[in-house]
C-alpha cells in the first residue's frame, strides 16, 4: 500500500467525520427553516395554559425571532468556549441543547417554555455555526478540507429543504382532515401537526450527539494545550503517518516562531498575520450578507408577487429557489477543491452582480408607474390607531382618483402598506385588487411592536419601546402599483433563481471556508465569533432597512445596492484573497506573516 495514501480505517474515519459534520449542518438548517411550516398551525391552535389566551402577532414574531436572538448570544461566546473546553465538547453541548429544545417546544402549553425552547435552538445553531467549520478546518487535510467543509453548507441547505418538505406533508394531511368538516378534529390535528413537525427533527440531533462523542478532538487545539502526543494521535486517525508528521512539524515551527530565548512571549495581535486575514474575513462576511441573500430568500414570495406572479405561483417560486440553492451547493462541493475558493467566489459574485442589475432594471420599469397614497390611507386610521382596509378595484379607483391616475376597466393593482408605531416599522402583505379573497388588511399595534425590551433591542437597538406603546399609527407608504404581466413575473423569478445558483456555487460555500481557513490558529475561534457577529449585525441592518428602502425608493434601488455591494465582494475575492486550495493551515498562516506566495 502507498504510504502516502490513507489506510482504509482512515478513509472510514474521514467519512464518519464528514457524516457528523453534515448532521451539524442539518441541525443548523432545521433551526432556520422549521418554524415556517409549523407557524400557521401554532398560530391557529396554541393556547397558554395559564391565561387561556392565544398568541398575538408580536408574540408570534418573537417566536420566529427567538432563534436569531439565541444565535447572536451564542456566537458571542462560542469561540471563547471552544478555546476553553475544546471543539469536540462544544459540538456535543450544541447537540444536547438542540435535543433539549425539541421536547421543550413540542410539549409546551405556555408561552414561556415555547420561547425558551426556541432560544435554546438558536443558541445551539450559533454554536454549530462557529464550532463545526472551526473543527473541520483544524481536523481535515489540505487536499479535502474544502470539499468536506462544503458538505456542512450543503447539509444546511438540505435541512431547510427537509423542513419545508415535512411541513408540506403535514399541510396535505391537514387539508384531508379539513374535508371531513369536523372543526374539532381539524383543530386537534393542527395542534398535533405543529408539535409533530418539531418532533421529526429530533432524530438527527440524537445522531449528531452520538457522533460528536466518537470523533477525535481537534489536533491543533490539543497541540496548543501542550498535548503533542494526543495531537499526533488525532492526526493519525485521518491521515497517513508521513502527512501527520509533516503537519505536526509545521505546528512546531509556528510555535517556535513565537518563542524568544527559549521562553514563550505573548505576540501583539496587531501583527500582519493576524490583522490582514481577520480584516479579509470580516469584509467577506459583511459583503456576503450585503448581497441581500437573507432578504431575497425571506421576502421571495412577496417579491415575485409584486413582479407579476399569482400567490400560488410565487410560493412555488420559493420552493424552486430553495431547491436551486440545495442542488447548486452540490456543484460547489465537487468544484471547491478542484477550482479553488478564489475562483468560485469570483465567479459567484460576478453572477450575482449581473443578476441583481437585471432584476433591478425589470423592477425599475414597473415602479415608474407606482403611486403613494399614504395621505388618503392615513385619513382612514381609526381613533384607536388601527386600520382595517378591504382593497378591491373600487377602492383602488377611489384612492387613485386624487393623484389623477385613471384605472381602466379590467386593470388590477397591488397594494402594500408600510407603517410604524414610534421607532418600530412593519408592512402588510401585498394585496391585489382583483383577489377573490376579500379579507381586510389589518393593522394594529400588536402586529408591529415586539413583546418586550429584549426583543426590542434585537429588532431595533436604538428604539424606545415605551414611547412606541403610546405612539400614533403612522402610514409611511401606501404604494399602489400596476400588476405586471405574468411573463414579467416569471422572468424576474428565473433571474432570481440564477442569482441563487451563483450564490450557492460561490459565496454560499466558500464563505465558511474563508472564515475558518484565513484565521491563524491563535485567533481562529475568537476571530470567527467576532466576524460572525459582524455578519449578524450587517444582516440585521439590511433587514431593518429593507422595508423603508422599498417604500421610499422601490425594489429597483435595493437590488442595485445589492449589486454594488457585490462589486466590493468581487474585487476582494479576485484581487486580495489568496488561493488556499491544497494548503495546510500553517502554510496559509505563514503566507500572511511574510507575504509568501501560496
Summarize pLDDT for 273-318 with one digit per residue, the tens. 778 888 888 888 888 888 988 778 767 777 887 788 876 787 688 7
* Integer Cα distance of 363 and 563 in angstroms: 14
Last residue of a domain, one of 148, 181, 215: 215
Phi and psi, residue 372, nearest 5°:
-100, 115
SS3 call for 478: strand
| Residues of the domain holding 226 | 219-266
Q: Are residues 158 and 250 in the same domain?
A: no
pLDDT digit string, tens, across residues 476-521: 988 888 888 888 889 999 999 999 999 998 888 887 777 777 777 6
pLDDT digits (tens, 9 = 90+) for 378-389: 999 999 999 988
E strand or H helix that includes residue 482: strand 473-482
Residue 569 clears pLDDT 90, i.e. is over it: yes
Same domain, 170 and 241: no
Number of structural domains (the chain) is 3
CB 478 within 8 A of CB 377: yes
211 and 240 co-located in one domain: no
pLDDT of residue 265: 43
Residue 342 CA to residue 352 CA, distance in Å, equals 15
Cell of 143: 487536499
CATH number of the domain enclosing 165: 1.20.1250.20
8 Å CB contact between 528 and 519: yes
Nearest to 293 by CA among 341, 351, 343: 351
Rounded Cα gap, residues 353 and 361, in angstroms: 12
Average pLDDT on 173-194 reads 85
Between 82 and 552, the higher pLDDT residue: 82
Domain presence at residue 88: yes
45 belongs to a structural domain: yes
Whether residue 468 is found in the same domain as residue 385: yes
DSSP H or E segment with residue 11: helix 8-45
Q: Which residue has the cell 460547489?
A: 332
Contacts of 183 (CB under 8 A, 6+ apart): none
Same domain, 177 and 232: no
For residue 111, give the 3-state DSSP assignment.
helix
Q: Is residue 530 part of a domain?
A: no
Minimum mean pLDDT range among 120-124, 157-161, 286-290:
157-161
Q: Which residue matches cell numbers 376579500?
A: 438
Name the grid cell of 123: 443558541
What mean pLDDT is reported for the chain? 82
**Residues 97 and 237 grouped into a single domain:** no
Strands (E), 360-472: 371-372, 387-389, 413-421, 424-427, 431-432, 441-443
Same domain, 175 and 56: yes
574 within some domain: no
The pTM score is 0.73
What are 414's strand-pairing partners?
Answer: 432, 481
pLDDT in the model for residue 262: 44
How many angstroms separate the Cα of 529 from the Cα of each of 122, 133, 282, 430? 15, 11, 11, 37
Residue 224 placed within a domain: yes
Amino acid at each position: 500500500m502507498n504510504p502516502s495514501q490513507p489506510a482504509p480505517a482512515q478513509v472510514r474515519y474521514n467519512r464518519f467525520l464528514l457524516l457528523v459534520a453534515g448532521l451539524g449542518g442539518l441541525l443548523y438548517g432545521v433551526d432556520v427553516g422549521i418554524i415556517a411550516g409549523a407557524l400557521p398551525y401554532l398560530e391557529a391552535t396554541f393556547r397558554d395554559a395559564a391565561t387561556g389566551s392565544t398568541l398575538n402577532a408580536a408574540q408570534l414574531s418573537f417566536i420566529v425571532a427567538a432563534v436569531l436572538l439565541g444565535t447572536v448570544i451564542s456566537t458571542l461566546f462560542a469561540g471563547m468556549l471552544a478555546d476553553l473546553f475544546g471543539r469536540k465538547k462544544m459540538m456535543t453541548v450544541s447537540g444536547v441543547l438542540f435535543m433539549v429544545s425539541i421536547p421543550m417546544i413540542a410539549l409546551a402549553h405556555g408561552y414561556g417554555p415555547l420561547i425558551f425552547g426556541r432560544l435554546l435552538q438558536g443558541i445551539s445553531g450559533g454554536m454549530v455555526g462557529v464550532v463545526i467549520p472551526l473543527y473541520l478546518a483544524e481536523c481535515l487535510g489540505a487536499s479535502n478540507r474544502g470539499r468536506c467543509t462544503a458538505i456542512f453548507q450543503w447539509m444546511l441547505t438540505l435541512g431547510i429543504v427537509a423542513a419545508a418538505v415535512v411541513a408540506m406533508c403535514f399541510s396535505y394531511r391537514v387539508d384531508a382532515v379539513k374535508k371531513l368538516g369536523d372543526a374539532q378534529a381539524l383543530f386537534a390535528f393542527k395542534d398535533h401537526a405543529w408539535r409533530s413537525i418539531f418532533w421529526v427533527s429530533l432524530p438527527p440531533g440524537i445522531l449528531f450527539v452520538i457522533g460528536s462523542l466518537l470523533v477525535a478532538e481537534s489536533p491543533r487545539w490539543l497541540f496548543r494545550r501542550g498535548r503533542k502526543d494526543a495531537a499526533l494521535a488525532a492526526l493519525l486517525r485521518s491521515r497517513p503517518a508521513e502527512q501527520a508528521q509533516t503537519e505536526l512539524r509545521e505546528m512546531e515551527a509556528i510555535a517556535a516562531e513565537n518563542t524568544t530565548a527559549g521562553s514563550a512571549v505573548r505576540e501583539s495581535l496587531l501583527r500582519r498575520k493576524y490583522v490582514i486575514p481577520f480584516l479579509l474575513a470580516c469584509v467577506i462576511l459583511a459583503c456576503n450578507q450585503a448581497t441581500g441573500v437573507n432578504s431575497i430568500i425571506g421576502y421571495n414570495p412577496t417579491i415575485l408577487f409584486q413582479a407579476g406572479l399569482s400567490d400560488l405561483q410565487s410560493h412555488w417560486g420559493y420552493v424552486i429557489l430553495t431547491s436551486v440553492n440545495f442542488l447548486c451547493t452540490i456543484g460547489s462541493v465537487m468544484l471547491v477543491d478542484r477550482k479553488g475558493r478564489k475562483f468560485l467566489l469570483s465567479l459567484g459574485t460576478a453572477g450575482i452582480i449581473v443578476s441583481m442589475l437585471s432584476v433591478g432594471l425589470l423592477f425599475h420599469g414597473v415602479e415608474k408607474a407606482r403611486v403613494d397614497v399614504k395621505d388618503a390611507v392615513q385619513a382612514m386610521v381609526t381613533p384607536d390607531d388601527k386600520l382595517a382596509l378591504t382593497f378591491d378595484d373600487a377602492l383602488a379607483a377611489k384612492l387613485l382618483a386624487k393623484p389623477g391616475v385613471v384605472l381602466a376597466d379590467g386593470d388590477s393593482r397591488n397594494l402594500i402598506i408600510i407603517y410604524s408605531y414610534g421607532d418600530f416599522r412593519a408592512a402588510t402583505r401585498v394585496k391585489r385588487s382583483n383577489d377573490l379573497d376579500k379579507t381586510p388588511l389589518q393593522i394594529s399595534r400588536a402586529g408591529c411592536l415586539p413583546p418586550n425590551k429584549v426583543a426590542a433591542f434585537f429588532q431595533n437597538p436604538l428604539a424606545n419601546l415605551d414611547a412606541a406603546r403610546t405612539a400614533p399609527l403612522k402610514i409611511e407608504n401606501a404604494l399602489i402599483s400596476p400588476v405586471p404581466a405574468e411573463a414579467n413575473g416569471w422572468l424576474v423569478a428565473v433571474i432570481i433563481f440564477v442569482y441563487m445558483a451563483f450564490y450557492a456555487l460561490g459565496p454560499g460555500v466558500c464563505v465558511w471556508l474563508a472564515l475558518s481557513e484565513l484565521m491563524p490558529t491563535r485567533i481562529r475561534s475568537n476571530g470567527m465569533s467576532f466576524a460572525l457577529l459582524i455578519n449578524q449585525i450587517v444582516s440585521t441592518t439590511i433587514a431593518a432597512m429593507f422595508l423603508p428602502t422599498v417604500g421610499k425608493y422601490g425594489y429597483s434601488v435595493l437590488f442595485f445596492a445589492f449589486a454594488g455591494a457585490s462589486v466590493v465582494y468581487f474585487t476582494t475575492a479576485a484581487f486580495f484573497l489568496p488561493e488556499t486550495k491544497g494548503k495546510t493551515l500553517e502554510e496559509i498562516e505563514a503566507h500572511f506573516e511574510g507575504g509568501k506566495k501560496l
